[in-house]
Structure 1
Amino acid sequence: MKPSISAFGGDQFKLPEQVKQLATFFSLYYFAVNAGALISITATPILREDVYCFGEQECPSLAFGAPAILMAVSLFIFILGRPFYKSKPPAGNVVMLVGKTVGNAIATKWKEKKTNPREHWLDYADKKYDRQLIGDVKVLMRILVLYLPLPVFWALFDQQSSRWTIQATRMDGDMGSWDIKPDQMQMLNPLLILAFIPLYELAFYPLLGLIELIWPHYAIDEQIR
């Protein structure tokens, strides 16, 4: 559900008129997700270790059961809002369309590279696909480079729920008035995200917007000189 909710939420806005509201929605959505993660990672270890049930010293049933009940309640609330949602029907398989565009460009280039040279190799697909789609695929190809380090990132990120917790069991969790439990170590990630979201919204993104406004004028001045 989680990856679908963000896309579904984006469909509720009319673009380009509500592009600012769309950006605010994604920030609030990300904030809410991590606020929930922070609360759950903090609370569930307490329910597991400090509550006794079924004659045992710990209560994992409550630690797992409470989030499950809350998930069912949230799903029910989400379904209640169905009459107010904008639902866009599926409009084809974008992944297949991009793959066909790339395949057609490669095949056409192989046939016509000597007789009909193009500025970009994807331009060879212009006989079958429109320029807007080809332009979008060009942008996608440039963005895909940013995803190359992702396997390394996720390999390290997912160690929060494994190596971090194992390491925390060997550490002294006494922090004075609070004794941090091993499985609460994972809350550092959502805690830092909650701290950085307002910083990005109030400082970093406005600064980038200011640079974007200044830079085109600077580039034009350089060309004139």
Structure 2
Amino acid sequence: MAKAFLTSPIQTDKMPPGIPYIVGNEAAERFNYYGMRAILVVFMTQYLMDRSGALAPMTDNQAAFWFHIFNFANYALPVVGAIVADAFWGKYRTIFWISLVYCLGSIVLAVDHTRFGLAAGLALIAIGSGGIKPCVSANVGDQFGPQNQHLMSRAFGWFYFSINAGSFVSIGLVPWLLERHGPMLAFGVPAILMIAATAVFWAGRYKFTHVPPTGREYFRRTFNKQGLSLLLRLSTIFVFVAIFWSLWDQTGGEWVLQAEKMDRKFDLFGWKFEVLSSQVQAVNAILVLIFIPLFQYWVYPAIDRVFKLTPLRKIGLGLLVAGSAFLVSAWIESQLTAKLVPHVIWQLPAYALITAAEVMVSITCLEFAYTQAPRHMKAMVQALYLLSIASGNLITALVHLFTENPDGTSKLHGASFYLFFSALSIGCVAVYVFVAKAYKPAPAEGGDSTPPAPPLTDAPQGT
């Protein structure tokens, strides 16, 4: 007789037994995703082949377009994943089976370096990642009962640490593998980690609490008048959050291409080394861990003494700071155009500003969305937030598409590209102020008493 799955949390005042499996799975999966993502534009512009095996790289503009289309798919598909998990399969089955699709996509990237292999691999990864994203953090919360609720914050801390540990290590290692050993090993190592992540998750199947799907009841409760009203109300805020993500995700695309043109050699007390262009973005992972406590304990209280700092005001400030980061990028690009070559260290102020904006926007939005949603809509509202990331990447992709010259270059060349996005982010705040003022936060359906999850961000810090 087959062993039955747990359908409710174990009654204990200790850490749920399934948490280590979730954390281990997340660390390995994030290593795969961010390592693969870190080298995408470099692979497309330097290593891509045609079917004969000859090099057939993309232009910078083309690579940036496809990079953002991939990001768009990754963050748009969670809407489907949330519905599949909550209505049909449940979170465990959704994460496990779609992880197998993810593994297949990673393997395809490792063995086929043509445009066909790139398209097929990224499509499978987008399906896999999209199915997993809305389920994982909610699966952490499902493991806790009334007796161990006080340990949920610690579990989310481990979960958050696993995201950052996996992304930081992979962003440092995978570009080096690409440079020294080529794309097969560079994509192959993340593929192995993704297979390991799926195996770890499967090993914990009898340790997890499996919340059953609710079938048609899910659609009745989620897409009724009250549910749709909530989604529409949150969408008025997330439209502006999409602008932030149109800037932030350029750290993995356009900023990498900019770093490729810069001097990346260092000499520290006689120790000489060169940083790869795709490794520079690892700075974000370090800065975000420094900035989170810095903002929570010093920056936010200091601002709050000047004017009341609400979640919506944090988002507005974040948009202004993100726009300022792109002013730095525009200045760097102007120096490169003038052949003055500033060192890559000049990207550090831009990374500091965009990371500060990330803390203000991304983490605030996740917590805000979670607290605004009733229990049965938390996965869908998180998916709606992820859709704002998708929309931001679509904005950037369309800018590349509509400004492309016949030879594959961009009409928005040099500093003008970054100035455009700086103006977009800073300028939209003029409209956001009125929208945020009109927004009326409401208690979740029926006054949901579910405690808010500690703030998480999926970006590489990084959704």
TM range (shorter): 0.5 to 0.7
Task: Provide the C-alpha distance between the structure 2 equivalents of 1:188 and 1:96, rounded to a whole number of angstroms.
Answer: 45
**8 A Cα contact 1:27 1:197, kept in partner:** no
Residue 280 of structure 2 is aligned to residue 185 of structure 1: yes
Task: Provide the C-alpha distance between the structure 2 equivalents of 1:139 and 1:196, rounded to a whole number of angstroms.
Answer: 31
Cα deviation for residue 196 of structure 1 reads 3.5
Q: For 2:142, give the aligned amino acid.
A: D
Cα deviation for residue 97 of structure 1 reads 2.5
Task: Provide the C-alpha distance between the structure 1 equivalents of 2:291 and 2:148, rounded to a whole number of angstroms.
Answer: 24
Higher-Rg member (1/2): 1
Between 1:31-40 and 1:1-10, the stretch displaced more is 1-10
Cα deviation for residue 72 of structure 1 reads 0.3
SS in structure 2 of the partner of residue 83 of structure 1:
coil
Task: Provide the C-alpha distance between the structure 2 equivalents of 1:48 and 1:68, rounded to a whole number of angstroms.
Answer: 14
Cα deviation for residue 49 of structure 1 reads 0.8
Are residues 87 and 191 of structure 1, via their aligned partners in 2, closer, same or farther at CA, if it must alter by over 3 Å?
same
**Out of 138, 142, 157, which is 1:27 matched to?**
157
List aligned pairs for 1:1-225, cutoff 5 A. Answer: 1-15=132-146, 17-51=147-181, 59-92=182-215, 97-102=221-226, 146-176=237-267, 177-197=272-292, 203=297
Cα deviation for residue 43 of structure 1 reads 0.3
SS in structure 2 of the partner of residue 189 of structure 1:
helix
Are residues 19 and 141 of structure 1, via their aligned partners in 2, closer, same or farther at CA, if it must alter by over 3 Å?
farther
Give me the identity figure in percent.
34
Cα deviation for residue 99 of structure 1 reads 3.5
Task: Provide the C-alpha distance between the structure 2 equivalents of 1:196 and 1:139, rounded to a whole number of angstroms.
Answer: 31
Question: Cα RMSD between the aligned structures?
Answer: 3.0
Task: Provide the C-alpha distance between the structure 2 equivalents of 1:40 and 1:140, rounded to a whole number of angstroms.
Answer: 35
Q: Which has the higher contact order (CA 8 A, sep 6+)?
A: 2
Q: Which runs of 5+ in 2 are unaligned?
A: 1-131, 302-463
Task: Provide the C-alpha distance between the structure 2 equivalents of 1:200 and 1:78, rounded to a whole number of angstroms.
Answer: 34
Task: Provide the C-alpha distance between the structure 1 equivalents of 2:255 and 2:137, rounded to a whole number of angstroms.
Answer: 29
**8 A Cα contact 1:41 1:187, kept in partner:** yes
Task: Provide the C-alpha distance between the structure 1 equivalents of 2:275 and 2:287, rounded to a whole number of angstroms.
Answer: 17
Task: Provide the C-alpha distance between the structure 2 equivalents of 1:196 and 1:20, rounded to a whole number of angstroms.
Answer: 25
TM-score (norm. length: structure 2): 0.32
Deviations 1:100-120 (A, max 9, x none): 133xxxxxxxxxxxxxxxxxx
**8 A Cα contact 1:31 1:197, kept in partner:** no
TM-score (norm. length: structure 1): 0.62
